[in-house]
Amino acid sequence: MRTSIATVSLSGSLTEKLDAAARAGFDGVEIFENDLLASPLTPEEIRARCADLGLTVDLYQPMRDMEAVPEAEFARNLRRARHKFELMRRLGADTVLVCSSVSPQAVDDDALAAEQLSRLADLAREFGVRVAYEALAWGRHVSTYDHAWRIVETAGHPALGTCLDSFHILSRGSDPKGIEDIPGEKIFFLQLADAPLLAMDVLQWSRHYRCFPGQGGFDVAGMLRHVLRTGYDGPLSLEVFNDVFRQAEASPTAVDARRSLLVLQEAVGRAVLPEPVVPTGVAFAELVTPDAEPFAALLGALGFTRTARHRGKPVALWEQGDARILVNTGPAVRRDGTQLAAIGLESPDPAGAARRAEALLAPVLPRRRAPEDVPLDAVAAPDGTELFFCATGRPELPDWRADFEDTGRPPAAGGVRGIDHLALTQPWHHFDEAALFYRGVLGLTTRESVDVADPYGLLRSRAVTTADGGVRIALTVGAAPTDDTVHAQHIALATDDVVAAARRFRAAGGSPLPVPANYYDDLAARFEFADGELETYRELGILYDRDDRGVFRHCYTRTIGRVFFELVQRDGGYRGYGAANAPVRLAAQHAVRALTGG
């Protein structure tokens, strides 16, 4: 199907928005009136620019407060409309969006609304324009799609149809099944947006918190199925008002938007994409750092052994159980120092995973390698993290470990079994995009967002996982644009006995994150423990959580650069990440940073 995006969904000048939409692969745009008014280009120049970019102008919007008003006011509205229709002719747009009135002058009279909209459509037809009437969720008298359709049907004008907007329909809890009663040819336009499920004024919700389909809590795919059953064959268009998108760079936002429509079309059977290849585990986590020594000491204290070194690059492989950490001190180190830069994902079909990622607009990463190096497919996540698709230990496929030479030291057989989860701090404008990326590209399941109190703000966190927990990634973002440079990433290591693992870590010279005594006093009030159990946790800095499925025990190392490690023990079916303990951990990390200056 053809795809379109409203210019209000992107940041920048109108020219920048058009360029971004075209580069992302959209077929058309909705021109938002404010963007045109602020542009130095004439309507003819905008039309030519769109044509040069291969974009059609699918909609001009919005025209407000037109219908069900006193005759004198309607006469003024027709005068205004005539000017806009002439502008649209110059612009090359043939459909105008008319929103249901919010004017205090509007009266609750469907017959009058139908009659005046019919007269408006008469005028529009003179200019080759169609009128798409949309029910705003906060409209004064018309606020539901079925009410708007009844008025359009009553008017019975060939140049008057309806516009359906998923936000206005789903935010009110309307049943979209009734859409199937509207003839497809009378649905002149379809606008799509998702949104998180919030309890707030619907106008503020709409103006600030919309997001692209698949990033919120609405069943946009379910609504679209009803629309398609009518025979609607117009474009799928995104109209998203979002404070973050308005400030983020237009090009990545446009790619995110286009990806959302590809995933949505796949969900309703209107796009054929390579099948998702769900990863089965974590092959490795790669740290880049200007100084390997602090990590050598930390990994050694955690029980890891440096088992191999890359043949041609300054990359060391550290192993314990099935947990593998690469420490890279090469030129790939970024200016902000030590960080978790790459993840190797075990894949049943690495080539198929790469095809899926490329089809969903993920940047394929060129890899600097010698002729003898193992070929690995890799793509970039929205935050720049490199994702490698691996087939570790499978003789029929290339194994990334063939690029490494053994040191002669076997992997340690300590208490760490593997990597339990990875936590990636997202740039403030990529949080929603990241959730859609990992769901759409990798086939992971997204969990509900949770808010975590930080001493200096608020963090949002959202996990993406495989069904069996073989891959767990926690995405976090701060409340302000600078937060992503403050909060650290981390690697959580799975163990069957966190007490023993913590003791070995301390005995080997490791420095655990100190936990305030007040935390353990609170634990004693909330839970019952066996004799001596709580005292052990207090001694070792172990935190504790429990849900209806099981128990979670975990402790942390101190941070190096932007990275720290976590030892975790899951008992029973515990599925969380210890979110209840996150404020204590964050406060402790801030306290250590204040003391050490790092």
Q: Residues comprising the binding site for a divalent metal cation?
A: 134, 165, 191, 239
The whole-angstrom separation of Cα 177 and Cα 164 is 13
Task: List Cα–Cα distances, 200 to 103, 140, 216, in angstroms.
Answer: 22, 18, 15
List for the chain the helix, strand, coil content (%; round to 5).
35, 25, 35
Nearest 5 degrees, angle CA 33-CA 39-CA 89?
55
CA distance linking residue 54 with residue 387, whole number of Å:
32
Which tokens go with 378?
């890799």
**CB neighbours of residue 383 within 10 Å:** 18
Is 314 exposed, middle or buried, given 0-12, 13-18 or 19+ CB atoms closer than 10 A?
middle
Q: Which amino acid is at 335?
A: R
Return the amino acid letter for 439: R
Annotated binding site: 134, 165, 191, 239, 421, 490, 566
Dist. CA 440–CA 145, nearest whole Å: 30
Binding residues for Mg(2+): 421, 490, 566
Please give the angle made by the CA atoms of 564, 488 and 385, to the nearest 5 degrees: 100
324 Cβ contact list (under 8 Å, min separation 6): 283, 284, 285, 317, 318, 344
| 91-128 CB burial, b ≥16 within 10 A, e <16 | bbbbbbbbbbbbbeebeeebebbbbbbbbbbebbbebe
**Phi then psi dihedrals of residue 445, to 5 deg:** -95, 135
